[in-house]
Structure 1
Amino acid sequence: MKDAPLILVVDDTPTNLEVVTEALGDAGFEVAIATDGERAIKQATISQPDLILLDVMMPGIDGFETCHRLKATPTTREIPIIFMTALSDTTDKVRGFNLGAVDYVTKPFQEAELLARVTTQLKLRNLQQSLEQQVEQRTAELRAALQQVQQSQVQLVQSEKMALLGQLVAGVAHEINNPINFIHGNLSHVQEYTEDVLSFVQLYQQHSANSAPELQAAAENLDLEFIQHDLPKTLASMKIGTQRIFEIVRSLRTFSRVDESECKAVNIHEGIDSTLLILQHRLKNKPEHPEIQVIRDYGQLPPVACYAGSLNQAFMNILANAIDALEELDAKRTYQEDQNKPSQITIRTSVINHQSVEIAIADNGSGIPKEIQQRIFDPFFTTKPAGKGTGMGMSISHQIITEKHRGKLLCSSTSGKGAEFIIQIPIQQQICAAS
């Protein structure tokens, strides 16, 4: 910061330069001089004075042209210019003001008037700069506040959506659970009854040689031998089906996490698997894109203290983005390319440093350009078309991992080789222990 304002005095007359320089110096200003317009422009560009006193009548380019060039250059445009002139013609003064001058000082100089005009213009410039800084600062604050409000609104909507989804999934799981319990519970009885009936039929067949012709004909029409062989298989298949429904219901309940507001130790793999179940319809083979293979490379993880519902939301956002990337790539590829390089999502889990767990979710899509990687966790940033995304999914995931779980969310990508998101969270959360 300069101790005193710097004033550039431009005049081709040495006597005028001496008078003005002495007056300004005695008043405590720093002074630089130039004797023509060209030198004045170079000097102003280099030293960036706080004010310029510019003579109108000079050899070479006159004061008007010098002023015009100074005002046309971004680095000197804002420097206030006071013309020094013996001209009294109003037309010349108007011309100077139109070119951007802020004031006139008439020769011969009156020292008090000169200092008064210089001081006034410097005060005005300082006031203008101060106001501009305040406006800029206030604008930045308002912009940040608006962004925070928008982010909070979207986060609230996302949280409500996830809460509603959790409630819906929990409700559906509960409704499915009741009838499937009834079916599964009765299957064991049906199996026992069937075994008894088949034993009776087998015994009957052993003594059917003398049975009525009508009974023998009915047995042949029923194909009892096939029924005896196939019925146990059918019942076993039904039992497997009900067990599979039980697994689905359990996964749905795991994903919904109706107790998601609580921080407690959970099985991370169950959360990932339940999230994949919710996204299963997008992973299956469809006419518009082939099946997306999911490779689970799970390590031995201990129970992890976390907010399970929120963590599942982060898994959902990251996996959904990976599916989006693979679908976008598949839409551009040929059938043969799809066969040669099937779309894959690899999920790898491990313990690091005995204190944290790492969940790496990688896809073999097109990758993320470097310039986008730097902004991928910014609120409202999205590369998707309008209506396809809010740009908040990755931002919310970042907040869930870094702020809510005191962890890290990293992105690594190479163009043409896919992208990998790495989640690292502590096994134990101090905030959980406190609660």
Structure 2
Amino acid sequence: MTYHTKNQPARILIVDDFISNIQILANMLKPHGYDIEFATTGEEAIDWVQQEPFDLVLLDIMMPEMDGFEVCKKLKENDETKNIPIIFVTAKTDESSIQKGFQVGAVDYIVKPYRESELVERVKTHVTLERQRKELIKTNQAKDRLFSIIGHDLKNPMSNIFGFIKLLKENYKAFDDEKKQKYLHYLFESAKSNLELLEELLEWSRTQTNNKPFRPGLYPVSELIDNALHIMNETAQNKEITIETILNYTGEVYCDKAMINTVLRNLLGNAIKFSHPESSITLKTSAQNNLVKFEVIDQGLGMSKENQQKLFHIDQHVSTLGTNEEKGTGLGLILCKEFIHRHNGQIWVESELNKGSNFSFTLKMRESNKK
């Protein structure tokens, strides 16, 4: 199920067969910044919750065809919806109804007619708890993924380095110069891979602890592109890959230069990794209104729809070898997403298996919050 982030308005579903009751609740809650949806039947409510993410459901008990108890029970039986908090809002005040409400899974009970201050505070409490629960799940998923990267992707290259050093140490005099160069090359590539991964891990950890400074300013697009090409050209040349540029916009963008250099370097590195030798990559810019769009387009391996949906998520693992069997962790794309979102931009991919990929992101031409 998709989760809304803590920066987005909390979504509340109001379920009542009387529109007037829905309007009363909505009028009380909308001034507090909630995103309100409604359903007038139990079936409609279940459909809504199964298709869209909600932080809270306000549920009437007395409804025709399917009452609130049955709706609550069905939602709690579904693994995808069972954790959504449900508050019964009803005129039924007898003890057996209240007891049954908690038995089927409700977290609270509000009696009609509503006292606005009480309703608002109870909703706020349960929305806050639900947001905290979702953030905890995301944090745990990120931690598990991070440990997986450290335990697997960092350990294996270190084992290779140790193995090659041991081999050279024990057989140095017996090996000819060609074999020594071969093993030294393996050592270099393994050490380089480890260093890149460590740098990505450190960068990502800084973003998670808010220790990564954000220093935006106005920089020419041509300067950002030149910096990225200067770093990545040698890697491209090693695979005989040509990087072409189509710069329809070369003016300034408002960005943190170091962050955007990291984004461009990662996207170009991925494009090189998954491109066939002697092919080409296109780096393109364009502008519309106040937005500048950057595109990194390759003609390489591409990816399935399933893998595209897993990208940019720390809790999802996509493991695909490059055309020269280059390895990666996907952590670079997580960094790209973090950095672009710090700029209030968007990043996405369009790809087709065996035909290539187009990674795009947007930046603003100027600071939008300047007073």
TM-score, structure 2 normalization: 0.46
Q: Which has the higher contact order (CA 8 A, sep 6+)?
A: 2
TM-score, structure 1 normalization: 0.40
Larger proportion of helix: 1
